[in-house]
Amino acid sequence: MSSKLPSNVTRMGDATVIRDEDASTPVAVRFDHVTKQYKLFKNDKLRLLSTFSKRIPHDTVNASDDLSFEVRRGSALALLGDNGAGKSTALKMITGVCFPTSGTVEVHGRVSALLELSAGFDMKLSGMENIDMRCQLWGLSKDESERLIPEIVEFSELGKYIDQPMRTYSSGMRARLGFAFASSIRPDILVVDEALSVGDRKFAAKCKSRVRSIIAKENVTVLFVTHSTGMAKEFCEHGIVIQKGKAMFSGDIEDAITYYTSS
């Protein structure tokens, strides 16, 4: 008779995910021989049929391929690699957007993700109503929400539009509100994927300043995906170079950038 798994452990096939909000552990994130495999079908019809039969022809691709790395509490790690290398897939597994096919992913601490900033909003609701809903989904107390909401509204610079339905927002306005919320909730682990070019030049500079202030806080762990080696050097101490889903190099940021630019 199998024993019951701890509440913070999820197993699916050959994969294990360990996730909790314990920010006291020395390791914030760990990947142990993680593979994430996607099935590729020629068209949507075959993809639909695959839900009923395992015999539908398809190709497979390993977005992450036996990927192992560790992020210590309070450090800042840059994930470097070309488009399609598997960087964003790794971040999605950290945030729980997708699940590994095999291997073990450990995440210890509350995660805030600056990824798809405009995703997850209810377009029928106003900006303010969406903020309130997200605060509830995050399990924030009434006092926490009352303290954070004015800061989120002010940072977004949406003015009177904050009370308008989000279907009236431009994509840039939605992204600004998404960034304002995600960067205001005091995370233990901050995940950033090319999210610092939100809006015009002035607002983008404001976003970079906000990320710097988060990183400066004690024990905030940062995972940063960018194509800009200058930005990686500015925000991160360590780097890992990913190619075709594999970790090809891991070390301090200067050495990681040298490896990335010369490979």
With a cut of 50, say whether residue 1 has pLDDT above it: no
53: DSSP letter: -
Tell me if 104 sits within 8 A of 69, measured CB to CB: no
Helix (H, G, I), strand (E, B) or coil at 206: helix
The predicted structure's pLDDT at residue 118:
64
For Cα atoms 51, 54, 55, give the angle at the middle one, nearest 5 degrees: 125
Place of tokens 């971040």: 91
What's the pLDDT tens digit per position in 241-260?
A: 999 999 999 999 999 999 99
What's the pLDDT tens digit per position in 19-78?
A: 998 989 999 999 999 999 988 888 888 888 888 888 888 888 899 999 999 999 999 999
- β-bridge pairing 238-243 and 246-252: antiparallel
Q: Is 68 exposed, middle or buried (0-12, 13-18, 19+ CB in 10 A)?
A: middle
Q: Give phi and psi for 6, each to the nearest 5.
A: -60, 155
Assigned CATH class of 9-110+225-262: alpha beta
Beta bridge partners of 225: 79, 193
Residue-wise DSSP of 81-98:
--TTSSHHHHHHHHHTSS
Most distant CA atoms of the chain, gap in Å: 61
Task: Kindly report the pTM of this predicted structure.
Answer: 0.80
Listed by start position, the domains of the chain span 9-110+225-262, 121-186
Label residue 84 by pLDDT band (50, 70, 90): confident
